[in-house]
Amino acid sequence: MSDTSRMDEAQLSDSMQQMNIRSVMCVPLKCKGEVRGVIYVDSIGLPGGFGKDDLQSLTGLGNTAAIAIENARLYSDLEKLVERRTAQLRKAQKNQQRLQKQLSHAQKMESLGRLAGGVAHNFRNILQAILGNAQFLQMTYSQDGQLQKITRAINESVAKGSDFIYSLLRFSRQEVEKEILPLDLKSVLDETYKIISNTFDKSIKIATKIEKPLPIKGDRLSLCQVFINLCDNARDSMPDGGELRIEAKKDKKAVVVTISDTGCGMDEETLKNIFDPFFTTKDVGEGTGLGLSITHGIIKEHKGKISVSSQPGKGTLFRVAFPVAEKYEQIKPESPQRIRHGKGEKILIVDDEPAVLEGLENMIKSIGYEVDSVSSGSQAIEHYKMHKPDVVLLDWKMPHMDGATCAKKIIENDPAARIVIISGYQETATSKIDAGLKKTIKGLILKPCKVEKLNKAILEALNS
């Protein structure tokens, strides 16, 4: 535009008129066929202010500027791409770390599961031998008050050992029988208080503030384990004494329990890991690192939540919340089973552990049965052919010939055989017995079993 004075004023902008712009030169900023912008140059008061040389110079400048702008845009896009790729890489690395952690956890749990199954079997056999002989003494010397007191203590210790196995199997994800029933959590907390008040050092003051009722649905044994674990941790954090507080209340949607202490507290790094399996701040030999992991797993199974707050030197507070049971009805405990003595029926016991055999023999003889025992499947088959016992109590896991094979061979010889499986393996009761054998055996008992349970199983087998 060489002279704006020759143009219609309507085509000129207000600024051009006010500034007396007489000539204008513009070149587009083009790159790859696309216009990226415009370079605008004007001349004030001088018509024909630009010539062809000026236009060529401006065009060259425009081309260079267009390339520079395009390069800047490409660089900006590249930066954004790098940022996105970096973010994706970081996310992938975090996912990989998370998956590696999950894999490590799964491998630990698998190893623990295998270990737990073997430990459970062996430990249950030991407990069965102890329980069998203790209950035999209890029944044989029923008038001896001192001996009754001792045997009751032994039986309670066996029950605690059995509870420990239960918790270990539960944590390792092996199937265990759960008894989810309506209950008042206050009774569980009262039981916890009774245990810790009798076992904790007197330098630890225990205070409670527990409302009632606290209606939830849960497994009493598991919940007791939760609160014992939390209280044990509180005690361990106060080696020189302190205060442990247990408080519980119900609001509209949840039953909330808090357990707090005045102990040494924890730093942020410890708080991040306290629910991880095998994590412990205790010295070697003083802790397994499983207590709080078990606790977390049980609470999760009960659809509850657990949180923790702590500061070094200022103690720790655990908060546990469970859903309120909408329809709550206290379940009355079953009355103790009465023992019905036998009339000399023949019972064959099969177990490869001599101590277990002796304990079971003593128990069953004391309630009126004639007892024989053998230590292998092959001996059991021969004995059955010769003596035809009324009931066979058969161990599941034995060397050379297991309980399943032995049971099938006995049933082949006598389809009317009454066989009760006794096992130290929890999974026997859930998945290891095939459907055909389940239909033919007369019962399954998990070790350690009290004389009342044995008596009931034998009676049911005899009446089948």
Kindly tell me the burial class for residue 79, based on how many C-beta atoms sit within 10 Å of its own C-beta (0-12, 13-18, 19 or more): exposed
Q: Mark whether 359 and 238 lie in a shared domain.
A: no
What per-residue confidence (pLDDT) applies to 151? 86
3-class SS string, 421-432? EEECCHHHHCCC
Distances (CA, A) of 360 to 188, 374, 378: 33, 12, 20
Q: Mark whether 341 and 314 lie in a shared domain.
A: no
HSE-up of 283 (CA within 13 Å, CB side)?
1
DSSP, residue by residue, 10-57: GGS-HHHHHTTEEEEEEEEEEETTEEEEEEEEEEES-TT---HHHHHH
What per-residue confidence (pLDDT) applies to 284? 46
* Final residue of a structural domain among 289, 323, 357: 323
Q: Mark whether 354 and 391 lie in a shared domain.
A: yes
Q: Mark whether 279 and 202 lie in a shared domain.
A: yes
Query: Reading across the β-sheet that carries 419-423, which strands appear in turn?
Result: 370-374, 346-350, 391-395, 419-423, 443-446
Kindly tell me the burial class for residue 153, based on how many C-beta atoms sit within 10 Å of its own C-beta (0-12, 13-18, 19 or more): exposed
Q: Radius of gyration over alpha carbons of the chain, in Å?
A: 40
23: Cβ contacts below 8 Å, ≥ 6 apart: 1, 2, 3, 4, 42, 43, 46, 47, 48, 49, 50
Number of structural domains (the chain) is 2
Q: Mark whether 285 and 367 lie in a shared domain.
A: no
Distances (CA, A) of 424 to 89, 213, 400, 461: 50, 38, 17, 20
Does residue 249 lie in a domain region? yes
What per-residue confidence (pLDDT) applies to 167? 64
CA–CA gap between residue 140 and residue 45 (Å, rounded): 129
Does residue 355 lie in a domain region? yes
* Final residue of a structural domain among 268, 291, 323: 323
How far from the centroid of its chain's Cα atoms is residue 305's Cα? Answer: 12
- Give residue for tokens 């749990």: 109
What per-residue confidence (pLDDT) applies to 105? 63
What per-residue confidence (pLDDT) applies to 412? 92
- Taking phi over 0 as left and psi of -120 to 50 as alpha, with beta for the rest, 210 belongs to beta
What per-residue confidence (pLDDT) applies to 379? 95
Does residue 68 lie in a domain region? no
Does residue 34 lie in a domain region? no
Q: Is the peptide bond before 213 cis (omega within 30 degrees of 0)?
A: yes
Does residue 460 lie in a domain region? yes
Q: Which residues of the chain have pLDDT under 70?
A: 102, 105-118, 166-179, 277-291, 327-337, 426-432
End-to-end CA distance of the chain: 115
Q: Where are the alpha helices (DSSP H) in 172-244?
A: 185-199, 220-236
Domain boundaries, position 388 = 114-177+337-464
State the helix-helix crossing angle for 220-236 and 185-199, rounded to 10 degrees. 40
Q: Mark whether 365 and 311 lie in a shared domain.
A: no
Whichever domain contains 218, its CATH number is: 3.30.565.10
Does residue 289 lie in a domain region? yes
Instruction: Look at strands 181-184 and 215-218 and give their pairing.
Output: antiparallel
Q: Mark whether 304 and 356 lie in a shared domain.
A: no
CA–CA gap between residue 197 and residue 207 (Å, rounded): 10
What per-residue confidence (pLDDT) applies to 115? 65
What per-residue confidence (pLDDT) applies to 297? 86
Q: Where are the alpha helices (DSSP H) in 242-376?
A: 268-273, 291-301, 354-365
Q: Mark whether 351 and 453 lie in a shared domain.
A: yes
Tokens of 352: 């490869």
* Final residue of a structural domain among 268, 294, 323: 323
Whichever domain contains 153, its CATH number is: 3.40.50.2300
What per-residue confidence (pLDDT) applies to 35? 87
Does residue 420 lie in a domain region? yes
What per-residue confidence (pLDDT) applies to 238? 93
Q: Mark whether 409 and 438 lie in a shared domain.
A: yes
Q: Mark whether 170 and 188 lie in a shared domain.
A: no
Does residue 133 lie in a domain region? yes
Q: Mark whether 192 and 319 lie in a shared domain.
A: yes
Tokens of 77: 């896009």
Q: Mark whether 346 and 440 lie in a shared domain.
A: yes
What per-residue confidence (pLDDT) applies to 245? 95
pLDDT in tens, 66-75: 889 889 988 9
